[in-house]
Structures are given as structure tokens and as C-alpha cells.
Structure 1
């Protein structure tokens, strides 16, 4: 309901009807619409580690680094461009001024958490002399932005009706990894 009608357009009575529970149940379990909204957003964040665990783990060895990062990038863009996740992102952004703590929590438990996990992976790769990320968190931000900037920006600005084919998303991921490795792969020739 929040995703479809936004925060201001949603009432607890409508939530009760949609959930097929009594109004009393909704009123008993949530003090007000603001709290209900906050609880729903927080509930969606509890799955972040699970959702991105395969993407943020440590990639394979030197022969498979590009192939492995490409597979992970493709998986990442597929996850991040799921319509419900994009709707949730847009909703949190739209309500960030009204609920700054919720926006901060979403950022810390979502994008910032994913970047921290990727940074750990990049540090491992640096230890194996495969990458030279300098600032691993910044490198993680660079990679995720390279992967998702085109599809996410287009949907954020143009609405949920924008869709990308599998081939278009794969192309974004593949090129992101190519550019990322051009910047961050350790030069083994001079090492």
C-alpha cells in the first residue's frame, strides 16, 4: 500500500483491509501510520545481508577474477533493479525529509552495508595482490555506481514503467567490471 500510494496516501484502515485483518489488529500493533511505515521499511532492511551475500563474498583467483566479478555484477544489477526494491528506494528518498532517521537507517543498513561488505572482499583481493583499491569503500562505491547508475537513475526519474532487458542489464554489469578492473586491477607486470 505504501509503495503504491506513498506515505501520505496510506491509512491504517486501508492496510487492515488489504491485509484482511481487523482494524483493531492494525491499531493494536501500530501506534500510528508513521510507526507502521517505519516498521515496514525496517522489516525490508533485515534481509540485506541475505539478499546480497553471494554478491559481496570474496571473488575467485586471478584467472577467474574478471569472470567472477562479472557474474557478481550481473547478479547485483538484477537484485537492485527488482521493481519492489526500486519502489522502496524511491519511497524512502521521497520521505527522507519527513523521516530523516528512517532515511539514514535505510542508507546505513542498505547501501552503506553493501559497500562495507564489498570493501572487505576488495581488501582480501588486495591481500592476494589481485586488486589495488586504495580506499576499498570508495572502490566499492565506484563499482556499484558503475553497475547500477543507468538503470536505477532511469527508473528513479522516469518511473516504474521503465524496464531493461536482461541483455541491457548484463551489458551495464559487464562494462562496469571492465572499467573497474582497468582502474583497480593490480598491475602484475611491474610487481
Structure 2
């Protein structure tokens, strides 16, 4: 039995979720496990911000502002502002960078934060929650950073939209990718 392999193979994004969501105690437990990703120098270069209720509306307003559509296309701006309301819980994944670290460049710190996001999405899926990682063209806009109260050395990586799986939800069957086309071996040299 290979439970981690089975969990990874079974994971599917869930774009439509119900209003149920994990509580903070469950999130802390899952985040504690997700935080075990490879992390050079143990910097823990990440944090997660939970957005529930009206906090999602603040994000929507920031996305609309970032788009610049408020004056030219108010309907488009309103549609964009409603996107964070698609799930009862959004988990903003933030890279917390230590600039000019002597051993760990910023790209590696971002990679560790992205690893936490991916592992957290897998753990949430395995716990029975519907999850979808979303980004977009405004992810790193200053209005979005301000809405999340990000610090000077922090950068948004995206949001995990989390909620209950709808009744009758079934994971779609996907044709497995041929991983052999993605693996190469560097030949040894004498």
C-alpha cells in the first residue's frame, strides 16, 4: 500500500464547492504537515492568510482596482470582484523572502513556499475538502498586496479556494500523463 502515491494520483481540482470549510484547528494541523517541505536553511519562507466572510470582498475590491476596469468596464470589474466569493475559504499563500541570504536565493525561497501550497492542497483534498489553486494577472499587484497587508519582502503566490465537495461529486478520470517523456538522464562521463 502506497497512500501518498494514491493521494497524489487521486487529487483533482474542485472548481465549485459548498459553503462548508475547515476550521482553524484543522488548518493548523494540515499546515503543520505541509510545512515539512524541503526548506534550505530552515527559513520557513512562507505564510498562509485565511480569508473568510467579508475579507473575501476586500480581496475582490482589490482585484477590481488592480484590473483598472472600474471606470471603463464596471460590469467586468464587478465580475472580477465576485471571484473570491466562489469559496467560503481562501488561503492566500505568501512567499516570505529573506533578501540577499548567503545560501538561499529568493527563487529557492519561493519554491519552498510553492511546495507548501501544493502539499497543503493535497492534504486538504485527502481530508475530503474541495480545493483549487487560483492565480491571475493581478496576483502581484500593489492593491492586492495591500489588501493582504503584505510586508516589504513578501509576495503573493496565489490562493487555495477551499470548500465542501458538492453532493455526488466524483473525481473526473484523467488519462495519466506519460511521465517517461518528462524524465531524462544525464549520461555519466568517464
Which entry has the higher C-alpha Rg, 1 or 2?
A: 1
- Structure having greater relative contact order (Cα 8 Å, sep ≥ 6): 2
Same fold (TM over 0.5): no
- What TM-score results when the alignment is normalised by the length of structure 2? 0.30
**TM-score normalized by the length of structure 1:** 0.30
More helix by share: 1
